[in-house]
Chain A
Amino acid sequence: MHTIEFAQIEQLLILLVVGAPGLAFLALSLAWLAGWDPRERLVARLTGVAFTASGMAVLALLWEMASHHQWSAAIELGSWFRVGNYAFPITLLADSLSLPLLALTTVLVGVVASFSRRYLHREHGYLRFFILLNLFGFAALLAFSAGSVDLLVCGWELVGLTSVLLIAFFQERREPVRNAVRVFVTYHVCDLGLVIGALFLHGAASTTLSSILFKGAWPMQSTELSAGAATVAGLLLLLAASGKSAQVPFSGWLPRAMEGPTPSSAIFYGAIAVHLGVYLLLRAQPIFQNSTIASSAVVGIGLVTAVHATLSGRVASDAKTSLAYASLAQIGLIFVETGFGFSRLALVHMIGHAAVRTLQFLRAPSMLHDYHRVHAAAGGQLAPTGTHYEALLSPVWQIWLYRLGLERGYLDSFLDRFVAHPFLRMAQLLSGFKSERRIHPGLLAGPEPEGKRLTGKLAEGFDA
């Protein structure tokens, strides 16, 4: 990979790609903070302009790089902060992995923003949605163009935050809020893998800059990390990727995330956010190539997830949950491709999957209407589907697999019973918790059911 001298315009282009949605986010946030309630049309237009500018900048960057016959570049923008010998570099990458994803993000987020303009018309949280959408766009573009694992962490964390806040979009309902808490917990537990992985790479390789850590241009890269160090780093990054991409055993959060508005489900869990884990694996591909254990773990997790998601998706009773599991199955397969080293295939698969899934999610509210139209066109006689593979199994197996699918692999109950509950129980015991204050039986649950809200203590605290 070469760090080349870009003309000033080309450096500005990459900044425009990442920065345009960020500026839109800042503008809308400051406007709201100042007490202004902008009209829906203005909000949508500002968002549209931001992503159009970002998309045009990606195209212009592609054109510039093609005209210079350069297919990878690291643009250094200085240090964010520095203490002694330690500095946090801001380096953005434009190569054959990041450029397609930057283009994909700007297009899909732009499409979703356009869809949302009408879909969320007169919705109470219209401005809130677009603020979070712009922040998400900025974060995703930052993550995809990050030239170091440290900078990728920044985009990664912001993507997670916007995801959670949009799950709780319908905040007056209990279930979306509880699910948002669950997703937040899953994200933060798994993100420890990324944070500790980045710190480990600092220790093992003295850097997390892709241009130094990996030699060559993606996907033909190599690293000088030893097999042992690569294994540790790989497993840590795999933990983070599994959480973000809802792989087993962290799959439980994805169907719960469907509580958010359909446009956010499309862009987060069909298109971009859920593929961020795959992107991390692809970016760190040389590390996995140096470690058989880590790459085998990627393949294993992907396979198990694909099977689990297929089973659970076949018994799902609503369209969005069904689509969520379909996404999960495909991402599991992409993990398998990545684990085997088929990086280009995984990238193409990811892009195609993101586009198709976005369409399906956006069409989900019309799915029933579509079905009735097809049903009528077929003369009211549509052949039943979904029985071929079941017919190959014995009735005992059919029932067992059906139950397994219905219980979503028992993953949530396993995590609740063997991880969350003991954790809470121990915290309760060590804090000398009084027995009459019953702790809610799930760390992964949100606020207590109505009638047992602890916020009654707000009044108690005031009275004291």
Chain B
Amino acid sequence: MLDKALSMLLFTGLVCVSILSAPKRNINRRTAGRLLLLAGGTLACYGAGSLAIMFAGWFLSGVAFFGDRPRRGAAGAVLGASTLCFAAALVILAIAHGPSVLLAPLGSDVIGSGQSARWAFVSMGAAVLLRSGIFPFHFWVVSAFSVGDLLPIGLLFTAQSGVELLVRFMMPAFGETARLALPLIGDLALMSALLTAFLSFGERQPRRVLGLLAASQSSFVLAGIATATGEGIAGALVHSSVVLASLTALLVIYRSLEARCSAALDSEAGGLASRAPRLAVFFIVSGLALIGLPGTLGFPGTDLLFHGALESHPYLGLALPIATALTAIRLFWLFTTIFLGRALKATPPVPDALPRERWALTAVVLFLVGTGLVPNRIVSAKASVAHGITASLPPASEAP
């Protein structure tokens, strides 16, 4: 219960941060509508008491993106496909167990391991993988990040609705089937984490780099859940909070800079640290939290993730530390490219963080650093959830 409340509070806070800090020209009716749908849908997912409500939240949070223009790539199509897969799973469950299963408290009914359960699991699993941008479905994340509304799509992606579905319904309800499938999900997620971090080195556009890094970090969370160990799941849940907060801050700062540098149309905007030092500091602190710098909440998350991943995947688990190193290098490169170096004369005299931006981003940074210095409360809350999840899974030796 505490964990649910924390997650909902954090997400609501970050939506407020996004609205407060977004450039004013971005807060039009369309964006506001998207954010409302997104917030409502995501909170419904987080707080859902039944499958039906979770599906409604899933649908609501993604519906605003279904009709996106083709140049935004396959984001709308993939989100639509993931919703269809989820819906298909619900239909299968309703046919096999009656419609009441959709309204039963999440995880209360054990679906079992029959044929219909496996099909439902596969369909739901596909929905999770699509929504989470696991390789090879990361392309929608990259293309969605590269053009258009950065903040809503960032919030949608980092909300980790797929992980919510996996943790709160699929693992408790599908028991044996989940235990069988988790190693495969874990392998996919580990490979995805490494590959997407690696692919970011082939990109030069900051938006696309951020998209790939977001996909990589999302894979970390799924990989941690799939370890089915207490440390891995707790680490994944902690890390999902870090991903949400850090990436939101990074995207907010980047979007603010885009709005400020509009005058420098055909020249470069670097060396911004001398003109916007606070934004630079917020950017680097948020980025470092994402890669698990000691003193931020990212450190306990990644530490637990590494332990969990290596326990369940002794060799492939090494993908996580390597992906972390690659992410760190790419983020630092991004920081130096945007903020350091000589500011050219053509670069407009951009203002530093405005008061509304400063307050919002300070709150995020204080959250990341404050909970990093004293992580026990958050880690304990996540650990109790992790304990519940591992208790609901059959022991590995009993799985057929």
Same complex origin of A and B: yes
Residues of A within 8 A of B (CB): 33, 80-84, 86, 88, 150, 153-155, 157-158, 161, 164, 168, 171-174, 177, 180-181, 184-185, 188-189, 191-192, 195-196, 199, 202-203, 423-424, 427-433, 437, 439, 443, 446-448, 450-451, 453-459, 461-464
- CA–CA, A271 to B214, complex, Å? 38
Instruction: Find A161's partner among B203, B259, B288, B339 (CB 8 Å cutoff).
Output: B288
Inter-chain contacts of A437 with B (CB < 8 A):
204
Q: Are A157 and B387 in contact, CB atoms less than 8 angstroms apart? A: no
Contacts A81-B376, A181-B336, A433-B203: A453 and B231 contacting too (C-beta < 8 A)? no
Instruction: Find B270's partner among A424, A433, A455 (CB 8 Å cutoff).
Output: A455
Contact residues, B303-345 vs A (CB, 8 A): 303-304, 306-307, 310, 314, 318, 321-322, 325, 328-329, 332-333, 336-344
Nearest B residue to A30, CB-CB? B366
Q: Are A81 and B340 in contact, CB atoms less than 8 angstroms apart? A: no
> Within the complex, what minimum Cβ distance (angstroms) separates A439 from chain B?
7
- CA–CA, A7 to B51, complex, Å? 57
Nearest A residue to B257, CB-CB? A458
- CA–CA, A33 to B358, complex, Å? 9
Q: Are A168 and B295 in contact, CB atoms less than 8 angstroms apart? A: no
Nearest A residue to B301, CB-CB? A81
- CA–CA, A196 to B278, complex, Å? 34
Q: Are A458 and B206 in contact, CB atoms less than 8 angstroms apart? A: yes
Q: Are A177 and B340 in contact, CB atoms less than 8 angstroms apart? A: yes
Q: Does B108 contact A (CB under 8 A)?
A: no
Contacts A172-B341, A439-B202: A88 and B387 contacting too (C-beta < 8 A)? no
- CA–CA, A180 to B332, complex, Å? 10
Q: Are B343 and A454 in contact, CB atoms less than 8 angstroms apart? A: no
Contacts A454-B204, A461-B258: A171 and B198 contacting too (C-beta < 8 A)? no
> Within the complex, what minimum Cβ distance (angstroms) separates B266 from chain A?
7
Q: Are B207 and A461 in contact, CB atoms less than 8 angstroms apart? A: yes
Q: Are A458 and B269 in contact, CB atoms less than 8 angstroms apart? A: yes
Instruction: Find B307's partner among A33, A86, A461 (CB 8 Å cutoff).
Output: A86
Interface size of B by Cβ–Cβ distance < 8 Å? 73
* CB within 8 Å: A-B pair count: 191
Q: Are B294 and A84 in contact, CB atoms less than 8 angstroms apart? A: no
Inter-chain contacts of A424 with B (CB < 8 A):
201-202
Inter-chain contacts of B294 with A (CB < 8 A):
153-155, 157-158
Q: Are A33 and B362 in contact, CB atoms less than 8 angstroms apart? A: yes
Instruction: Find A192's partner among B304, B307, B322 (CB 8 Å cutoff).
Output: B322
Q: Mark B240-271, 1 if CB is under 8 A from A, else 0.
A: 00000000000000000111011011111111
Q: Are B375 and A454 in contact, CB atoms less than 8 angstroms apart? A: no
Q: Are B329 and A185 in contact, CB atoms less than 8 angstroms apart? A: yes
> Within the complex, what minimum Cβ distance (angstroms) separates B231 from chain A?
5
Inter-chain contacts of B39 with A (CB < 8 A):
none
Q: Does B293 contact A (CB under 8 A)?
A: yes
Q: Does B274 contact A (CB under 8 A)?
A: yes
> Within the complex, what minimum Cβ distance (angstroms) separates B361 from chain A?
10
Q: Are B341 and A180 in contact, CB atoms less than 8 angstroms apart? A: no
> Within the complex, what minimum Cβ distance (angstroms) separates A79 from chain B?
8
Other than the given A199-B321, A450-B268, 15 more pairs (CB < 8 A) read A154-B295, A161-B288, A172-B271, A172-B343, A177-B341, A192-B321, A433-B202, A446-B336, A447-B333, A454-B204, A454-B268, A455-B261, A459-B264, A461-B150, A461-B206
